[in-house]
Chains A and B, each alone.
Chain A
Amino acid sequence: MKIFDLIKLPFNKNNPVTVQVLGICSCLAVTAQLKPAVVMALSVTVVVALANLIISLLRNTIPPRIRIIVQLVVVSTLVILVNQILMAFVYDVSKQLSVYVGLIITNCIVMGRLEAFAMSHKPMESLLDGIGNGLGYGVILVILGFVRELFGSGTLWGYPVMEKLGLYKIGYENNGFIIMAPMALILVGIIIWIQRSRNKDLCE
């Protein structure tokens, strides 16, 4: 496999959310606004990439019988670090993400990549695979966050877009429904639909 594919494939043919259908829970939970979606995407990318790198470096020294526990310890450590840093530097965002940062540990994408890729590949490839998968997950999160914040609250990154455009004056109203978690699932469904109609390989 070419090195470049490791980054590219998760964006399309091997997207963790729309193709592997992993990490859906956090997709619904943190995408009501753009800012937490971006922070979550970056946090997951950092965690997957570093966890992949560390596990790949250790892969020949990890006894197979305790490998899952070792993976879990590495992931938890990284997540605690991310959480501590968020609490120190972007407190309001860490407050909003609250339990979901802790839930990165249980995000199937992280453990899935460690077990399926990092345990059997070289460090450099694993790092790239981690970055690719983190960003592939992140891009879906950002799309959802963008659509949901724009149509649900009429703002983007807190900036009142719809108000500045003067749409409220001509009778436009925010769609409160789109803020609810099920709408995120429907949006993911629409993204999967578009992706599969453009890429016939993905259809069974």
Chain B
Amino acid sequence: MKQFSNKYMILFSLSLAAIVALLLSAVSMFLKERQTRNQQAETKQMILKTIGIEATLDNADKLFDRNILTQEKGVYDANGNSHAEIDFYQYDCGFIIPLKGNGLWGPIWGYLAVDSTMTIVGAVFDHEGETPGLGAEIATDKFAEQFIGKKMDVRPIVLKKKADPSSPYEVDAISGGTMTSNGVNAMLEDAFNEYENLNRRVELSCSKEERKEVSR
């Protein structure tokens, strides 16, 4: 077998690492824009889903612009400069509240659509890297559908074992996904604190019949 000196091995590893690093950063820069666009379309798709509109990645932009209004608020950063940040979304007959939090392995997020009485009409959740079959179950329709009919008015909704399905503030937790469920709870509490009186702060004028017509 051919013998290689230590110096050769170190140089070989270093040049391999350098080539690979250059290649990967070049590709990442080149594809970034496309990937971001896909991610934004997916977010719009999720938001539309909470009010019962099934969109594809291609038509999400168009449907979103037609049905949903983004409300921004001014936020000051550490240097005192103000910039706009998404506060909540408004559809013709209610609000869509963004949720952000941390699961066991990474960020989790979701959207809750509420009507003018702060009753939830639709929900979606997603995650970056929760365990498939356990924490990742929050991204299923089965989990999200439990939120329909719950309320965001007097106290935050909690995930718990053996939740009472008739209570508007309780939802079944994920079995085997306690840490993720805790993350969802913290996220729901934050959202409650921030958006508790949203229906009294922002005027809505619509009727149930009108809403049906627009979303079709």
Residues of A bordering B, CB below 8 Å = 60-66, 69-70, 73, 77, 80-81, 84-85, 87-89, 91-92, 95, 99
Chain A residue contacts of B57, Cβ below 8 A: 91-92
Secondary structure dominating the interface of B: helix
* A63 close to B16 (CB less than 8 A): no
**Min C-beta distance of B25 to chain A, whole Å:** 11
Contact with A along B172-206 (1 / 0, CB 8 A): 00000000000000000000000000000000000
Q: Which of B17, B35, B41 has the most CB of A within 10 A?
A: B35
Q: Interface segment, B4-12, B77-85, B89-97, B145-153?
A: B4-12
* B35 close to A77 (CB less than 8 A): no
Q: How many residues of B contact A (CB 8 A)?
A: 24
* A88 close to B24 (CB less than 8 A): no
Chain A residue contacts of B17, Cβ below 8 A: 73
* Complex: A84 Cα to B4 Cα, angstroms: 35
The 8 Å CB contact of B34, one of A61, A64, A89, is: A89
**Min C-beta distance of A99 to chain B, whole Å:** 8
* B12 close to A61 (CB less than 8 A): yes
* A80 close to B9 (CB less than 8 A): no
* Complex: A99 Cα to B136 Cα, angstroms: 12
The 8 Å CB contact of A87, one of B1, B35, B41, is: B35
* Complex: A61 Cα to B2 Cα, angstroms: 10
**9 A–B pairs (Cβ distance < 8 Å), ordered by A:** A62-B12, A63-B4, A64-B4, A70-B12, A70-B16, A73-B16, A77-B20, A89-B34, A99-B129
Residues of B bordering A, CB below 8 Å = 1-2, 4, 8-9, 12-13, 16-17, 20, 23-24, 27-28, 31, 34-35, 38-39, 41-42, 57, 129, 132
Q: Looking across the interface, which residue of chain A has its beta carbon closest to that of B34?
A: A88
**Min C-beta distance of A67 to chain B, whole Å:** 11
Chain A residue contacts of B31, Cβ below 8 A: 84-85, 87-88
Q: Looking across the interface, which residue of chain B has its beta carbon closest to that of A61?
A: B12
* B38 close to A84 (CB less than 8 A): no
Chain B residue contacts of A66, Cβ below 8 A: 9, 12-13
* Complex: A110 Cα to B141 Cα, angstroms: 36
* Complex: A14 Cα to B27 Cα, angstroms: 35
Chain A residue contacts of B1, Cβ below 8 A: 64
Q: Looking across the interface, which residue of chain B has its beta carbon closest to that of A95?
A: B42
* Complex: A75 Cα to B38 Cα, angstroms: 26
* Complex: A69 Cα to B16 Cα, angstroms: 11
* B38 close to A65 (CB less than 8 A): no
Q: Looking across the interface, which residue of chain A has its beta carbon closest to that of B39?
A: A91
* Complex: A60 Cα to B13 Cα, angstroms: 15
